[in-house]
Chains A and B, each alone.
Chain A
Amino acid sequence: GAVVSQHPSWVICKSGTSVKIECRSLDFQATTMFWYRQFPKQSLMLMATSNEGSKATYEQGVEKDKFLINHASLTLSTLTVTSAHPEDSSFYICSARGNSLMNTEAFFGQGTRLTVV
C-alpha cells in the first residue's frame, strides 16, 4: 500500500507552547487528508478533513483556532496544536487519500504521541 509518514513520532512540550505535526504522502498525491485523535483505550476520533489548497472542515466540537490545519501541497498537511495543555495529550494520527474519481482506501501515518507537561 501507499506510504504516509508522520513526524515527529512523539513529542513532549511544555504547557502553553505550540506543537506542529507533519503528515506526508510519500508515493502518491493526497488530495484529501484527515486528522484523528485517539485517547488511551478509545477509538480514533475524526478531528478534521483537509483538502489541498482550501480550508479544513472541522468536526463538531473541535476548536479550529486551537488545532490549525494547513494543507498547502498535495503531499503535505500539518496540524499545529496551539497553546497546548495537558488535556491535549493524545495520539494524533493522519490519513491520506488519493485523488481518483472513485473511492480509494485511505492510508494512515504511524501516529504522533503528544505529551504536554
Chain B
Amino acid sequence: DAKTTQPTSMDCAEGRAANLPCNHSTISGNEYVYWYRQIHSQGPQYIIHGLKNNETNEMASLIITEDRKSSTLILPHATLRDTAVYYCIVRALLYNQGGKLIFGQGTELSVKP
C-alpha cells in the first residue's frame, strides 16, 4: 500500500470549512483514497473514499487532484464534535488484492469555538 503524508495537526474555527490535505505521490492505479477519523478513545469511523473523481456525502467532500498524487478532505462546516485525528489511507481496489488498511500518523484536527 502506498504511503501517505499528512500534517501533524491543524486548527479550525467552529462553523468554518476544515480542509485537510494528504499527499500520496506513489499511489498506484488500482488504489483508492480512503479517509477515516478517530475521536479520542473510540474506534475509527469511515468518512469517504474515492478513486479519481471528487466525491461528496453527508459528512464531507473529497477532492482528488487530476494526477491523483494528493487529495483534500473538506468538512464544510466544522463543529466541536469534528475534533479528531483524521487518517488518509490508500488501499488496493480489489478485494483479492488484500486491501489492508494501514494507518499513518494522521492529522489531529482541533475545532475551536
Residues of B in contact with A, size category? 20 to 34
Decide: A105 near B49, CB < 8 A? Known: A43-B105, A95-B101, A100-B95.
Answer: yes
- Residues of A within 8 Å of B45, CB to CB, are 108
Are A101 and B95 in contact, CB atoms less than 8 angstroms apart?
yes
Chain B interface residues toward A at CB < 8 A = 32, 34, 36, 38, 41-46, 49, 87, 91-95, 98-106
Q: For chains A and B in complex, what number of residue pairs have CB atoms within 8 angstroms? A: 61
Which A1-55 residues sit within 8 Å CB-CB of chain B?
A: 1, 4, 6, 34, 36, 43-46, 49
What is the number of residues of chain A that contact chain B, defined by CB distance less than 8 Å?
28
Decide: A111 near B100, CB < 8 A? Known: A103-B92, A103-B93, A105-B34.
Answer: no
CB within 8 A of B94: which of A46, A95, A102?
A: A102
Chain A interface residues toward B at CB < 8 A = 1, 4, 6, 34, 36, 43-46, 49, 91, 93, 95, 97, 99-111, 113
